[in-house]
Chain A
Amino acid sequence: MIKYIVKRSLALIPILIGVIFLIFTIMEFAPGDPVVKILGIEATSEAKEQLTIQLGLDKSFWERFASYLYNIVIKFDFGISWRTKNPVFEDILPRIPVSMALASLGIIFATIVGIPLGILSAVKQYSLSDNILRVVSTTMVAIPAFLLAMLLILLFSSKLGWLPSGGIESLKSYILPVLTSGGRYGCTVLRITRSTMLEEIRQDYVRTAKSKGVPNKIITYKHALKNALLPVITTIGQNFGAILGGSVIAENVFSIPGIGSLVVLSIRSKDTPTIIACVVLIALFFAIIMLIVDLLYAFIDPRIKAKYVKVS
């Protein structure tokens, strides 16, 4: 088991280096001269030259990438932001917990709502509640996140005045953003739970259990659910990227100072070091979540567990 964990964790390293390389290369294509962006057009040519050397812009692409990677790995230094002139990492650090809280609340909300409703929908297939849930979840998946956020603001903030429409002053202000990023995602979880449960219910072992006289409740929760959960967990993990993307929109609509709003701000102000750092950090979170899902999977699925127990 430990062997499996170590193996999976080590596999992350080349992927993360690849991500850094990919984003670094893409941002190479960004138009504009960084020196002019930092100093302004009126700066003296000496100051410009000095900064060019300081930023290492006189060196080749590979040298710059190597030193960038070295600085990240050894010093956790992502360079200096072109917009605020602060170290990028200092700009990002206070925003990490905010984004993490938003994403985790979203994922918790989606799981708590999605899985039970998905089971309900599958067990009572074609009933009224199933039909309603199907219509709602299909519609929700098609509504763009920003439109959902707008509808929520109009209803709960403008009309009813129950919840604030922005900021992070109180716990209450997290409710609408979480509904925005977690709502769509919860509907995806619901749809997947429903379809995998339906698939499981039709399996031979369920028929056997039924003919043996096992009560329906035990068949559903002990037999079918256990098997259906595996693909559901995978999808929850894989869709975590979608929830991170959803948070970008939620953070922007509700003006929450998280990484997502920083990314958009830096893209608009063409602040390359911050863009790279944000994307790399988000990819890192994503990779860690996928790792946890994989380990969870190995823990739940006896087939994977057996494979590694035998080896070690």
Chain B
Amino acid sequence: MKNSTVNDKIDKEVKDARRVTKNSHFFEIWNRMKRDKNCVISLTFIGLLFFVAIFANFLIDESLVTTQNVAERIQGPSSAHWFGTDLYGRDIFARVVYGSRISLSIGILTTIFATAIGSFLGAVAAYFGGKIDNIITRVSDIFIAIPEQLMAMVVVAAVGATPISVMVALGVVVIPNRCRLVRSTVLGIVDTEYVEAARACGMSDISIIIKEVMPNTLGPIIVVSTQGVASLILTVSSLSYLGVGIQPPTPEWGAIIFEAREFLRIAPYMCLLPGAVIALTALAFNLVGDGLRDALDPRLKD
């Protein structure tokens, strides 16, 4: 009886100690990130973007996105129309706000899915080595041999130009890259003592990969993925701009510019203001990625 209470006590202490170290590690990283002014500003901006995207229907009437008003077409920015109006007299600001839902969800969801699949494949390849590694590496080599933007364009051409198929296309591009990154990171981990210890304890290969190996690759994955969101947002908008991605009248950011590109000289605001939103979003994700990298590994800080 007494013995068990002692054991409980020890257990509790160990648990507390674990929690403290876990928290303090997280806390330390967060503290280091807070010192990076660019990172904090960018995080605030991204938070604001998410807020606007999620609560768009409370902030701006959804009908504004599609309402055409020929009398007010091609008007510059004003207090009534912050970003001006387009060819059909639609409010560009409302379109950009609702477009943020598409651009952000494509960027984030693709990153999450593709990173999960890609990293798992990479970890499996590096952990097992041999034939499995060979097959996974060769196949991803083939995918990487095709420039990313081109690959995405071809997949969209084959499966259609809906937001879902654009996500699939971008996933096809991102998965081999993550796979390669994680494989090279895991190769350095496989031979460490704690993996050996886990194996000695009789853990199955899959749970070693998921519980022991992958958490230790999280640092680089998070950094690359954050910046990956930025590059995905740029790629999505480029595809729509070329007319091979999401098609107008869907208010995707690139599609808005695609519709306006004939008017670049007459009404540059129609292209430049939505373009600036794209650039700022990409910039914010890049800066958060930089901040995370420095916070996770202060040695890398320049």
Contacts and interface: CB of A to CB of B under 8 A. Distances in A.
B142 A15 contact: yes
Interface string A265-278: 00110100001000
B146 A142 contact: no
B302 A195 contact: yes
A145 B147 CA distance: 15
Contacts of B155: 26
Given A141-B286, A275-B154, A264 B265 contact: no
A94 B156 CA distance: 27
A298 B155 CA distance: 35
B278 interface: yes
Nearest to A147: B275
B150 A282 contact: yes
Interface stretch (B65-73, B105-113, B157-165, B197-205): B157-165
A144 B142 CA distance: 26
A22 interface: yes
B158 A26 contact: yes
Interface in B211-233: 230
Interface stretch (A50-58, A65-73, A220-228, A244-252): A244-252
Interface stretch (B11-19, B44-52, B241-249): B241-249
A123 B252 CA distance: 42
Interface string A131-171: 00000001101111111001101100010000000000000
Interface residues on A, range: 35 or more
Contacts of B292: none
Nearest to B142: A18
Interface residues of B, number: 48
A30 B158 contact: yes
B272 A147 contact: yes
Contact of B145 (A19, A141, A147, A248): A19
A13 to B, nearest CB: 12
B241 A286 contact: no
Give the dominant DSSP class at A's interface. Answer: helix
Nearest to B278: A144
A26 B165 CA distance: 13
A279 to B, nearest CB: 6
A96 interface: no
Nearest to B169: A26
A198 B302 contact: yes
Contacts of A241: 144, 146-148
B145 A287 contact: yes
A270 B230 CA distance: 29
Nearest to A23: B154
Given A270-B157, A282-B150, A22 B142 contact: yes
Q: At the interface, is chain B mostly helix, strand, loop or mixed?
A: helix
Given A145-B238, A267-B157, A270-B157, A15 B275 contact: no
B182 to A, nearest CB: 17
A242 B148 CA distance: 7
B283 A142 contact: yes
B298 interface: no
Contacts of A264: 153, 242-244
B242 A248 contact: yes
A147 B153 contact: no
Given A18-B138, A150-B271, A268 B243 contact: yes
A248 B242 CA distance: 9
B210 interface: no
A153 B264 contact: yes
B132 interface: no
Interface string A8-41: 0000001110110011001111110000000000
B77 to A, nearest CB: 16
B160 A150 contact: no
B279 A142 contact: yes
Nearest to B147: A241
Nearest to B271: A150
A50 B149 CA distance: 37
Contacts of A30: 157-158
A45 B271 CA distance: 48
B64 interface: no
B237 interface: yes
A263 interface: yes
A86 interface: no
A279 B286 contact: no
B166 interface: no
A263 B138 contact: no
B282 interface: yes
B264 A27 contact: no
A252 B242 contact: yes
B287 interface: yes
B234 interface: yes
22 contacts: A15-B141, A23-B146, A27-B154, A30-B157, A30-B158, A31-B160, A144-B234, A146-B237, A147-B275, A147-B278, A150-B261, A150-B272, A194-B302, A241-B148, A248-B242, A249-B242, A252-B242, A264-B153, A264-B244, A267-B244, A283-B147, A286-B145
Interface of B: 138-139, 141-151, 153-160, 230, 234, 237-238, 241-244, 254, 257, 261, 264-265, 268, 271-272, 275-276, 278-280, 282-283, 286-287, 290, 302
Given A22-B143, A26-B154, 15 more contacts: A19-B145, A19-B146, A31-B160, A138-B283, A139-B279, A146-B238, A146-B241, A146-B242, A147-B271, A195-B302, A242-B147, A245-B150, A248-B149, A275-B154, A282-B150
5 closest A-B pairs by beta carbon, nearest first, are A245-B149, A18-B142, A142-B283, A241-B147, A147-B275
